[in-house]
Amino acid sequence: MNKWICKSVFAAAIVAASSTAAWAQGAAAQSPTLNAVKARGHLVCGVIGSSAGFSLPDNQGVMQGIDADACRAIAAAVFGDASKVKFVSLTPQQRLTALQSGEADVVYANFTWTMTRETRSGAQFVGVHYYDGVGFLVPTELKVKSAKELKGASVCVLAGPAEVTTQEYFSKLKISYKPVTFSEGEEMRKAFLAKRCDAYVSDQSHLAKFRTSLGANTEKYMMLPEVISNEPLGGAVRKGDERWFDIARYTHYAMVTAEAMGINAANVKSFNTNDPAVKRLLGTEGELGASMGLDNSWAVNVIAAVGNYGEMWTRHFASSGVPRGQNRLWNDGGLQYAPPLR
């Protein structure tokens, strides 16, 4: 009897293993996005393009920021070359249509993962590379210590989700305020600096970066303590191409895993280890890359080009005094956590 059970379990395992292998091969060949990206020779990545810390060209015209680097990481995973990315700048309103129309292969654009962006709009978020939340920036001279003191205040906000979040927050507290809405960030910031509104509402990361960009005037502005929403920012791909989703998702998790393992851009090529989990990530054991239709050195290429998650985060945010907070690894009190790469 026992023998029979063992045999049938064994037989089932063989069937499962062979169908898994067949699925993996078929799906790798059938990723329309991966095929298109390879045929084109570069990835098209949608970014905001005017968002410090996320995507903003430097004085050489090179796109800099955590969103830009997340795209470079995917290019490194696919091509072994992080430079094979073309960035397209999108307004917040254009992000979903850029995915739906096929204009972008992936969108990393200060993009909050929400339910209806997935259930209604055909986007699928690959993970969270920046845990953020909507907050308030006010001139220090206003002498306001809390958003609850903003009764009757005028509030600069971008039309769309931040506008709705602000409206819901104040209506819940029965506080009246005057929204001053804009469709474009630069125009809104000019208006705020010109005192056309008392407070500026946006993702906290964005406010912190804007504040420090003011140089000598930084101290003239302060963040209020309230964080009025969860804004898990991440990359998104079009629904319906699971293999491409895997590539974008595990590129992010490879960077988080590398940080947890102490692997960084400088040591990745010479990392000496007996740890099987590290060997799998580095592709010297196992077939993680091949399971997605990529070279097994995919993760090494990612880490060598853009670093581990912490290096990427630090490069773009540490200098502006933004605390790493929830973006620390799980074993350091944060929320960044990766599933096992096995």
Binding site for ligand GSH (CB under 6 A): 48, 50-51, 92, 110-112, 158, 161-162, 185-186, 202-203, 206, 231, 233
Instruction: Return the number of the residue (69 or 246) whose C-beta is nearest ligand GSH.
Output: 69
Output phi, psi for 305, to 5 deg. Answer: -85, -45
Evaluate whether 175 touches 150 at the Cβ level (below 8 Å): yes
Compute the least distance from the CB of residue 324 to ligand GSH, in Å.
18
CA distances from 28 to 38, 187, 220, 251, 290 (A): 12, 44, 54, 16, 9
CA distances from 195 to 87, 139, 164, 218, 219 (A): 33, 9, 22, 15, 16
d(CA 180, CA 76): 42
d(CA 269, CA 266): 8
Write out the H or E segment, with its range, that includes residue 124: strand 123-125
Instruction: Return the number of the residue (110 or 301) whose C-beta is nearest ligand GSH.
Output: 110
Please measure the distance between the N-terminal and C-terminal CA atoms of the chain and give it in whole angstroms: 33
Compute the least distance from the CB of residue 114 to ligand GSH, in Å.
8
Paired tokens of 164: 């709705």
Instruction: Return the number of the residue (231 or 241) whose C-beta is nearest ligand GSH.
Output: 231
Compute the least distance from the CB of residue 150 to ligand GSH, in Å.
19
Paired tokens of 45: 């990545």
Instruction: Return the number of the residue (233 or 302) whose C-beta is nearest ligand GSH.
Output: 233
Compute the least distance from the CB of residue 103 to ligand GSH, in Å.
18
Compute the least distance from the CB of residue 95 to ligand GSH, in Å.
7
Write out the H or E segment, with its range, that includes residue 25: helix 2-29
Instruction: Return the number of the residue (94 or 257) whose C-beta is nearest ligand GSH.
Output: 94
Compute the least distance from the CB of residue 110 to ligand GSH, in Å.
4
Residue nearest to ligand GSH (CB): 185
Instruction: Return the number of the residue (185 or 283) whose C-beta is nearest ligand GSH.
Output: 185
Instruction: Return the number of the residue (188 or 263) whose C-beta is nearest ligand GSH.
Output: 188
Evaluate whether 55 touches 87 at the Cβ level (below 8 Å): yes
Compute the least distance from the CB of residue 273 to ligand GSH, in Å.
38
Compute the least distance from the CB of residue 222 to ligand GSH, in Å.
18
d(CA 182, CA 198): 15
DSSP-assigned states of every residue in 193-240: HTTS-SEEEEEHHHHHHHHHTTGGGGGGEEE-S---S-EEE--EEETT
Instruction: Return the number of the residue (31 or 110) whose C-beta is nearest ligand GSH.
Output: 110
61 burial via Cβ count (<10 Å: 0-12, 13-18, 19+)? exposed
